[in-house]
Amino acid sequence: MKVVSNHIEPLFEENYLAALDREKRLYSDEELLQLPSIAEQHPHYREWKLRKESADRLKKYLSALDRPLKILELGSGNGWLSHFLATIPGSELTGVDINLAEFIQAQRVFHQRPNLNFVHGDIQSPAIASQTFDCILFAASLQYFSSPRDIISYSLQKLNKNGELHILDTNFYKKEEIGPAKKRTAGYFNSLGVPELTGFYFHHSLDELDPFAYTILYQPSFFNRHILQYKNPFPWIRIKRKAGA
């Protein structure tokens, strides 16, 4: 299985960076170094406040395992989460992403942390193909994989004994919601002037995770989702490698 075909990477990156720029999601080196904390006047302050909450929950959980952890983040982007988790004692972090511009920024900004490494490519890149990990993360990245079953199945093979896969900051839809969601996404990318990005963005349902016997470690409450109307009321999902697999 090839997770990302090399010939589509330039097309994806060009449109992805254009979308980030128009959404004001490209950050200076100084801002990146502080993420997930950001100035209150920033247009995405409220979103980053929520992402900080999910990152804090994940960091607390992983720290409580109280053992050295080799962690891989798939779709690490500018590297903020990998950097945030690299403060866990005994941890070794690798972030991998096909976006060259964000990979270069991540290396530039975070190069002084010895237990943090970034790879430009995908999970089958030579730099990590022979490695295994204690934890693999998908943070706001699963929507860029067309088949959750394929990428999760492959990722589980990269886990050590007792390894875990975690999905966070990711939207999952009911089956009947996927059609309307696709139309909204297409309209949104059209409004940004990057209609090509629609072909790289996928809408998944929790039903697609059924083969993996997942556990929801955090589920936003009805009050948070419908009364407070949080912008990103995402579940936190854990999938463990099966014994003997």
Residue 24, sorted as left (phi over 0), alpha (psi -120 to 50) or beta, turns out to be left
Catalogue all structural domains in the chain, each as residue range(s) with its CATH number. 6-240 (3.40.50.150)
pLDDT of residue 8: 52
Q: Tokens in use for 188?
A: 């949104």
Given a cut of 80, whether residue 55 has pLDDT beyond it is yes
Question: pLDDT tens digits, residue range 136-184?
Answer: 999 999 999 999 999 999 999 999 999 999 999 999 999 999 999 999 9
Q: Which residues contact 178 (CB under 8 A, 6 or more apart)?
A: 203, 205
Question: pLDDT tens digits, residue range 222-238?
Answer: 555 555 555 557 999 99
Q: Which residues contact 167 (CB under 8 A, 6 or more apart)?
A: 137, 138, 139, 142, 236, 237, 238, 239
Cα separation, 244 vs 13, in Å, equals 39
- AA letter at 105: Q
pLDDT of residue 223: 52
Question: pLDDT tens digits, residue range 61-81?
Answer: 999 999 999 999 999 999 999
pLDDT of residue 232: 53
Q: What is the pTM of this model?
A: 0.92
